[in-house]
Structure 1
């Protein structure tokens, strides 16, 4: 899938130019910004994909990602961090900020392109059975890919929505981290099991009091508590 418009945000202008050239050679449409502040002056809803550096000016890439995720029009758009901060804690901070993936510098452009294709295959392809769900004030609406509480969209990303949908479609069935990775990130060899934990933690936070319905079976995995409807 190459008919995407990508925004690259990095304060290294040379790196932006390299990424723009190579991504355009791949068939993508690419714009660049050299700071979060510059990016925020653009009409972000025109972009399908964001490549963000973390260490930038007054507004970091992490903060920019959070701003993107808070915007309902952008909440489902993929975010890939490209950064020199590559520790496990740094990666977890990136995923907590809403990233779909994380690449540490130095990296190869081929790796960036491969990761973009893998993310796009996952994010822009729907494979799960469309099953509606309603419990008290929480509703999962497959047609609009939303989860609402009191008719207010809780703002799940596509990945978060698909994980919750998977658990809801098979209430009471325990899914290991490996099973969730295989079903949600099919073919993506870059994803680790901690990514599953981060996404489940974000889902629990967003669904408020209903977080208690997503159970953890120690040593096995996650499941949604089977309820009498």
Structure 2
């Protein structure tokens, strides 16, 4: 059964999460802060991580950024947990690489349902070549890095995943709904223009090479 790391400084919430996960057959390890988590990650990579945003020392978003920047842990599915309800906090977490989120207070059944769904998606994800290229653009899947004309292109986690998805489907028109489903991986309750805004920033960061991302009016986008 899957190994799950729970990073939560509230003892009561951590106990509820541990109890629910163990009763569902998962192995659970608990951490109160980023320092102890990273020590353990040097020895073991979990199948999934549940990460609170409000933590002592490094907050959950800082921890998320470090986890995604490490080749060993970059692909670990992560559910963010937050007491905040603002759209901005959710968007920041998703852009930095969170796969899903829960807002406190949440029910035990919802927690287990999201864990199961995310593990299923992770297991079903197809293998992608270590490097993808399109024109002057190179996507290094192993390093989770993108290059334009040999220079590093600084992308957020979701911008990277969006670029990779477009290149994998070069020449194919992709609807906004299809992109949301494949890149964000679930029914994200954000603004309908989420994809449009990410396409805009991605084009800007790619510079002249960004012109290969075409808008197909009333449908979506494609690389061509």
- Matched with 1:95 is 94
d(CA) in 1 for partners of 2:206 and 2:103? 33
1:39-58 alignment, distance < 5 Å: 39-43=37-41, 45-58=44-57
- Matched with 1:78 is 77
Q: TM-score, normalised on structure 2?
A: 0.77
- Pair 77,211 (structure 1): closer, same or farther in 2 beyond 3 Å: farther
> C-alpha displacement at 1:96, in angstroms?
1.9
SS in 2 for 1:134: strand
- The one-character-per-residue Cα deviations of 1:79-108 (angstroms, maximum 9, x if unpaired) are 111110121111111112211111111101
Q: Is the Cα–Cα contact under 8 Å of residues 10 and 35 in structure 1 kept in the other structure?
A: yes
- Pair 27,213 (structure 1): closer, same or farther in 2 beyond 3 Å: farther
Q: Is the Cα–Cα contact under 8 Å of residues 174 and 217 in structure 1 kept in the other structure?
A: yes
The alignment's C-alpha RMSD in Å is 3.8
Q: Is the Cα–Cα contact under 8 Å of residues 177 and 193 in structure 1 kept in the other structure?
A: no
Q: Is the Cα–Cα contact under 8 Å of residues 95 and 157 in structure 2 kept in the other structure?
A: no
- Matched with 2:137 is 138
- The one-character-per-residue Cα deviations of 1:92-131 (angstroms, maximum 9, x if unpaired) are 111122111111111011111111122222222135897x
Q: Is the Cα–Cα contact under 8 Å of residues 10 and 33 in structure 1 kept in the other structure?
A: yes
- Matched with 1:221 is 220
Query: What stretches of structure 1 of length at least 5 have no aligned partner?
Result: none
d(CA) in 1 for partners of 2:213 and 2:115? 30
Moved more, 170-179 or 51-60: 170-179
- Pair 61,182 (structure 1): closer, same or farther in 2 beyond 3 Å: closer
1:31-180 alignment, distance < 5 Å: 31-43=29-41, 45-127=44-126, 133-139=132-138, 149=147, 150=150, 161=161, 163-180=162-179
